[in-house]
Chain A
Amino acid sequence: MEPIDQELDEGELELPSQPMMLNVGPSHPAMHGTIRIVMELSGESILKADVQIGYLHRGFEKMCERGNWTQVFPYVDRCNYASPMLNNVAFALAVEKLLDVTVPERCQYYRVILGELARISDHLTCTGAMSMELGAFTPLLWFMKGREMIYDIMEEETGARLTHSFGRVGGMAQPPTENFKPMVNAILPRIAAIIGEAEALLLQNRIFMDRLQGVGKISPEDAVALGWTGPCLRSTGVAYDVRKAHPYLVYDRFSFDVPVGEEGDNWDRFMVRLEEMRQSIRIIEQALEQMPDSGPINVDDPRIVLPDKNDVYTTIEGTIQHFKIVMEGIKVPAGEAYGYTEGGNGELGFYLVSDGSGTPYRVRIRPPCFAIMQGLGPLITGVMIPDVVPTFGSLNMIGGECDH
């Protein structure tokens, strides 16, 4: 029998010796969020990587300059869609800094609890998606089970599962529901159990460990110079957490630890997130204990907060107040302020410039993802193609926030 490739020339079968260009994304199963990576390959090693973002750019900052201050809340929801409540709180705090008002204590605790629940759901999503990309599908379902419980509480409190638009300047849209505390208390041990079970599936899995340990390493100096914050910075051993370093709301009243890693590799980033969820549970437990059961949620300032619906319909003062706030917006005094909080991925900042009218002059979001993503290129240079997937996963890119 004749060989099949008899007619082919030897020379035609040679592989090209030049570096090969490979395009991944913007629509690719491993690129959750839309991102494109153009890689120059030598065999399977990456010689050069160009990370291109912007596929989810929706002109967040331009849109904010069109409405009034309260109308920004739906937009910030859609920035980090894995933890919208943290964005709501961050923006509300930044405007309140510009207004020089502090919300009542009950609201501060309420914000802390909702925010920490959002942080848990953010980390559950990230760690779950990351393990799924490495072939472990079961932990993802486990984590989603936990996220579902948090979504149920959010739905009960805000009426929406994902995009709550629940923050308001000077308070929250609604006071906590009657069953808020028992509901949260009921899910905390169940979430802790879920994290433990998923951990048991992953942390002794040889394949999972080999693909994470020692891959995607970064030194603390490089991470700081790149502007990294949040779990990714802490995995390198730098214990910078806005909640500890510059406490806002009532974070100085809780005892919690800031978990740090040693190597700054994918494994450490994964472990830091797992531990942070436990710390968030600790914070929520303490906050539930300390939170007053009654008291106002909104600041007592008719220029900022909408009046009670009953007053709007029955009194002329209420009607005027309602009209002024809805039609003209909250009058924020001219000036500028930078409000920063610990978001799901790190320092989430809002730099606001006001010209004294009811419309924001400039709303600048400082998305933690943006700074982290610019480290992806250097991180994956020199590694093999399969290592891109866990490295990209552990950075937790959130397209909406990165591309704003």
Chain B
Amino acid sequence: MSQKLLDVLNESFGPAVLETHSEHGDETAVVHPDSWFKIAQFLRDDPRCDMQMMVDLCGVDFPNREPRFEVVMHLHSLRLGHRLRLKARVGSSDGEGAELDSVVRIWTGADWFERETYDLMGVMFKGHPDLRRILLYPEFVGHPLRKDYPADRIQPLVPFREGYEKLPPFDNTEGMSFGRQVFRSGKVD
């Protein structure tokens, strides 16, 4: 269907495109992580590609491979109606050093998807404006979608957050009928 797209990529980036294949009607291009951002930008801006929509971004863990993680992005062009799966392989087998350029500047919609991939898979995105956990809580230890994370692991109990992250109008008197007294004493900070 969009074999043409793979040809365009091969032609424009040559050695940076490591591998291409078509399976079950889905075209896939594996690219070098260093060219991740450049190729993503090209795919959006080139009129032959015109991928205005980033559909999905996720990670897949292959613990026995080196590089260990595959970051998989699905792109879609509304005008031309074609799709492409873009992959990059990052990270060493111990799970360290998994880093990739963030594509939030290209598609604003990548924001939460990259946060999720960081949260669940532990892949860092360089240049992401606000890379913090999204589905899990800040005290969570580890990245649960990695294959070496046992599904039945019990997380340590989080101590009661004393004053931590409490918002100004809500102090220890939160929820009590006299709670708003804090305003009168001018303690708002």
Which A residues fall within an 8 A CB radius of B?
11-13, 15-16, 18, 20-23, 38, 52-54, 57, 59, 61-63, 65-66, 97-98, 100, 222, 224-228, 238, 240, 245-246, 335-338, 340, 347, 349, 351, 353, 361-362, 364, 366, 370-371, 373-374, 403-404
User: Would you give the 0/1 interface string for B119-137, flagging 1 where the beta carbon is closer than 8 Å to chain A?
Assistant: 0100000000000011111
Closest 8 CB pairs of A and B: A227-B109, A54-B135, A21-B167, A366-B56, A226-B109, A374-B112, A57-B135, A337-B24
User: In the assembly, what is the distance between CA of A349 and CA of B53, in Å?
Assistant: 14
Residue from A54, A222, A245 with most neighbouring chain B CB atoms (10 Å): A54
- The reply to whether B23 and A23 form a contact with Cβ atoms under 8 Å apart is no
State which of A13, A52, A62 has its C-beta within 8 Å of the C-beta of B145: A62
A335 with B109, Cβ < 8 A, contacts A16-B188, A366-B56 known: no
Interface residue B18 (Cβ < 8 Å from any Cβ of A): no
Interface residue B186 (Cβ < 8 Å from any Cβ of A): yes
What are 17 A-to-B residue pairs whose CB atoms are below 8 Å? Answer: A12-B186, A16-B188, A54-B133, A61-B145, A62-B144, A97-B25, A226-B109, A245-B81, A335-B24, A336-B23, A338-B26, A338-B85, A351-B72, A353-B60, A364-B60, A371-B109, A371-B113
- The reply to whether B78 and A238 form a contact with Cβ atoms under 8 Å apart is yes
Tell me the minimal C-beta distance from B100 to chain A in angstroms.
17
State which of A336, A349, A370 has its C-beta within 8 Å of the C-beta of B112: A370
Contact residue range for chain B? 35 or more
Interface of A is mostly: mixed
A362 with B112, Cβ < 8 A, contacts A38-B167, A53-B134 known: no
A66 with B111, Cβ < 8 A, contacts A59-B144, A336-B23, A349-B74 known: no
- The reply to whether A246 and B188 form a contact with Cβ atoms under 8 Å apart is no
User: Given the complex, which residues of A lie within 8 Å of B60, measured CB to CB?
Assistant: 353, 361-362, 364
- The reply to whether B52 and A225 form a contact with Cβ atoms under 8 Å apart is yes
User: In the assembly, what is the distance between CA of A9 and CA of B28, in Å?
Assistant: 71
For A370, the closest partner residue in chain B by CB is B112
User: In the assembly, what is the distance between CA of A22 and CA of B169, in Å?
Assistant: 8
- The reply to whether A366 and B55 form a contact with Cβ atoms under 8 Å apart is yes
State which of B54, B61, B81, B85 has its C-beta within 8 Å of the C-beta of A246: B81
A20 with B169, Cβ < 8 A, contacts A62-B151, A224-B53 known: yes
User: Given the complex, which residues of B lie within 8 Å of A227, measured CB to CB?
Assistant: 53-55, 107, 109, 113
Which B residues fall within an 8 A CB radius of A?
23-26, 28, 52-56, 58, 60-61, 72, 74, 78, 81, 83, 85, 107-109, 111-113, 116, 120, 133-137, 144-145, 149, 151, 167-170, 183-186, 188
- The reply to whether B169 and A57 form a contact with Cβ atoms under 8 Å apart is no
User: In the assembly, what is the distance between CA of A75 and CA of B28, in Å?
Assistant: 28
- The reply to whether A335 and B134 form a contact with Cβ atoms under 8 Å apart is no
5 further interface pairs, Cβ-Cβ under 8 Å (given A61-B120, A224-B53) = A21-B167, A63-B151, A97-B24, A351-B56, A351-B58
For A20, the closest partner residue in chain B by CB is B169
User: Given the complex, which residues of B lie within 8 Å of A12, measured CB to CB?
Assistant: 184-186
User: Given the complex, which residues of B lie within 8 Å of A347, measured CB to CB?
Assistant: 55
User: Given the complex, which residues of B lie within 8 Å of A351, measured CB to CB?
Assistant: 56, 58, 72, 74
Residue from A13, A62, A353 with most neighbouring chain B CB atoms (10 Å): A62
Residue from A226, A238, A340 with most neighbouring chain B CB atoms (10 Å): A226
- The reply to whether B145 and A57 form a contact with Cβ atoms under 8 Å apart is no
Tell me the minimal C-beta distance from A103 to chain B in angstroms.
16
User: Given the complex, which residues of A lie within 8 Å of B107, measured CB to CB?
Assistant: 225-227
Residue from B24, B28, B52, B107 with most neighbouring chain A CB atoms (10 Å): B24
User: Given the complex, which residues of B lie within 8 Å of A23, measured CB to CB?
Assistant: 167, 170
- The reply to whether B135 and A53 form a contact with Cβ atoms under 8 Å apart is yes
User: Given the complex, which residues of A lie within 8 Å of B61, measured CB to CB?
Assistant: 362
Tell me the minimal C-beta distance from B132 to chain A in angstroms.
10
